[in-house]
Structure 1
Amino acid sequence: MKRRTLIQYAGSGLAAAAATVGLSQSQQAQAQTSNAVTIQALGHTCFLFTGGGLRILVNPFRPIGCTKGYRPPRVPADLVMISSRLFDEGSLEGLPGSPRLLAEPGIYEYRGVQIQGVRSPHDRQGGRRFGFNVTWRWNQSGLILAHMGGAAAPIEVEQQILIGRPDVLFVPVGGGPKAYNATEARQAVLALNPRIIVPTHFRTAAADANACDISPVDEFLSLMDGVPVRRPGDTITLRRSELPSEGARIELLSYRF
């Protein structure tokens, strides 16, 4: 793949920052000074990654449908990566400041961080219905992170090679027409063999009962019987030295309503 230049996104101004939710200064400092990554769940497939002096926001959304009850994730970030332009994972409205934006597959470098965007169908019809999804893989503070966005098709050999074996895998589990269901998510986990599994894209209390077609996380957890599950709340700090030495574990992050 060709190395691509980063795209500048002009945010709507610093005024929006006053209404944002995010990591405290102490949490950010901890992640930046201890060779760790602090991960905050902001709803659906949206997470803020803070570590190595860098804040990366993945998949900001518009509160609608399955994300209706979440607050808009208007948090300060240096870099924003989106898996598609769909409202539930690619809405840039109201982001504070002027973060850089990655939205297309390819190989990138940003402030010393190597980033790989891997394309896959966003549906089970070869992308004919919802287009294509980007899985983002990057190394931050010594951890290899992979966020699958709204992947819906089985992982092909080329994609598996590009993604490699991540330390931490963010995988959609709630199904619907645009992303993996529990069984498909389990197959992706088996293919990529991560050490930490973070379920995303599942139904919560935020969903509009009349406009959300995805399922809760329970079915995925039951299919992963035997894999330890931790429930750390909305934020977790991970260090390479604390990853499982063998096997894997699930970190089920929850949204702070």
Structure 2
Amino acid sequence: MKRRQLLGYAGAGLVTTLVTSLGSDLQVNAQSGGSLSIQWLGHTSFLFTGGGVKILTNPFRTIGCTAGYRAPKVAADLVLISSQLLDEGAVEDLAGNPKLIYEPGAYEFNGIKFQGIAINHDRKGGKQFGINTAWLWKQGGVSILHLGGAAAPISIEQKILMGRPDVALVPVGGGPKAYNPQEAKQAIQTLNPKIIIPTHYRTQAADTANCDISPLDDFLTVMNGMTVRRSTSDTLTVSSGKLPDNGAIQVLSYKY
């Protein structure tokens, strides 16, 4: 697939930068070996640290379902966003000067290859909220699939691109913009990931009057029988050599 343009962030606007090998002077073997740290920053925002690279996903504005979270103003080398909606594409106040990618396509950054896969952000063929970009990459020897705000079933073509990820971040809280628990279960059965990290569900951060997604327990009830691991931390360290074969749900804690 033709490599798309990689977008850099500057001030309050987005500037387009054509690259042939972005960060080539700082090449690191980020795809293989070592381990990966995954920190939950609330909603669908995570910080992935491994192979000498920090990758931030889906920074949000603190309103509605994310009202009680802290804005994810953390330093990162690269930011991946799934859409330009405020709950996963608020890039106005990013720390530092990270590179930004927000369109489907094939990219490379510091030795890591990224695949942005288009999937509808609603159940109306994308007519309501447009296209969501699911991100697939390998970092620290661990393959990661972040589904963002996917709301449509995974097609055969998308499944071929996604493969079987080591870690899949799956929205589970429903509403008009993402999978509800049953839809999330279907996606998980299609992908068969080794670790499932649920995202996009109601927590105590929600502004009750302006949040239309369901709590995590609704999803866990649907997934009855699957191993569930609950962490007291917001951070998980994953090693490629220590992944469960049969799949497990990993629940991270948010430090309010």
Q: TM-score with structure 1 length normalisation?
A: 0.90
What's 2:235 paired with?
235
SS of the residue 2:208 aligns to: coil
What's 2:6 paired with?
6
Counterpart check, 1:146 vs 2:145: yes
Gaps in structure 2 of 5+ consecutive residues: 13-29
What's 1:76 paired with?
75
SS of the residue 1:210 aligns to: helix
What CA deviation, in whole Å up to 9, does each residue of 1:46-78 have, x standing for no partner?
A: 000000000000000000100001111000000
What CA deviation, in whole Å up to 9, does each residue of 1:153-182 have, x standing for no partner?
A: 011111111111100000000000000000
Contact 1:117 1:135 (C-alpha < 8 Å) held by counterparts? yes
Give the whole-Å Cα distance in 2 for the aligned partners of 1:225 and 1:209: 27
SS of the residue 1:184 aligns to: helix
What CA deviation, in whole Å up to 9, does each residue of 1:157-210 have, x standing for no partner?
A: 111111111000000000000000000000000000100000000000000010
Higher helix share: 1
Give the whole-Å Cα distance in 2 for the aligned partners of 1:137 and 1:58: 12
What CA deviation, in whole Å up to 9, does each residue of 1:72-128 have, x standing for no partner?
A: 100000000000000000001211111000100000110100100000110000000
What's 1:101 paired with?
100
Give the whole-Å Cα distance in 1 for the aligned partners of 2:151 and 2:118: 11
Give the whole-Å Cα distance in 2 for the aligned partners of 1:186 and 1:224: 7
What do you get for the CA RMSD once the two structures are aligned? Answer: 1.6
Contact 1:10 1:97 (C-alpha < 8 Å) held by counterparts? no
Q: TM-score with structure 2 length normalisation?
A: 0.90
Range moving further from structure 2, 199-208 or 247-256: 247-256
What's 1:17 paired with?
none
SS of the residue 1:169 aligns to: strand
What's 2:41 paired with?
42
Give the 4+ runs in structure 1 shifted more than 3 A: none
What's 1:24 paired with?
none
SS of the residue 2:59 aligns to: coil
Q: What amino acid is the match of 1:234?
A: D
Give the whole-Å Cα distance in 2 for the aligned partners of 1:126 and 1:78: 33
What's 1:117 paired with?
116
What's 1:194 paired with?
193
What's 1:58 paired with?
57
What's 1:132 paired with?
131
Give the whole-Å Cα distance in 1 for the aligned partners of 2:44 and 2:91: 14
What's 1:167 paired with?
166
Give the whole-Å Cα distance in 1 for the aligned partners of 2:97 and 2:112: 19
| CA distance 1:78–1:11, shift in 2 (3 Å) | farther
Q: What amino acid is the match of 1:182?
A: P
Q: What amino acid is the match of 2:126?
A: G
Range moving further from structure 2, 143-152 or 217-226: 217-226
Give the whole-Å Cα distance in 1 for the aligned partners of 2:175 and 2:196: 20
What's 1:204 paired with?
203
Range moving further from structure 2, 93-102 or 194-203: 93-102
CA shift for structure 1 position 2? 1.9
SS of the residue 2:186 aligns to: helix
CA shift for structure 1 position 10? 2.0
SS of the residue 1:62 aligns to: coil
Give the whole-Å Cα distance in 1 for the aligned partners of 2:218 and 2:64: 21
Q: What amino acid is the match of 1:171?
A: V
Contact 1:145 1:167 (C-alpha < 8 Å) held by counterparts? yes
SS of the residue 1:165 aligns to: coil
SS of the residue 2:209 aligns to: coil
CA shift for structure 1 position 11? 5.3
- Report how many aligned residue pairs link the two structures: 238
Q: What amino acid is the match of 1:255?
A: Y
Identity percentage of aligned residues: 59
Give the whole-Å Cα distance in 2 for the aligned partners of 1:5 and 1:112: 16
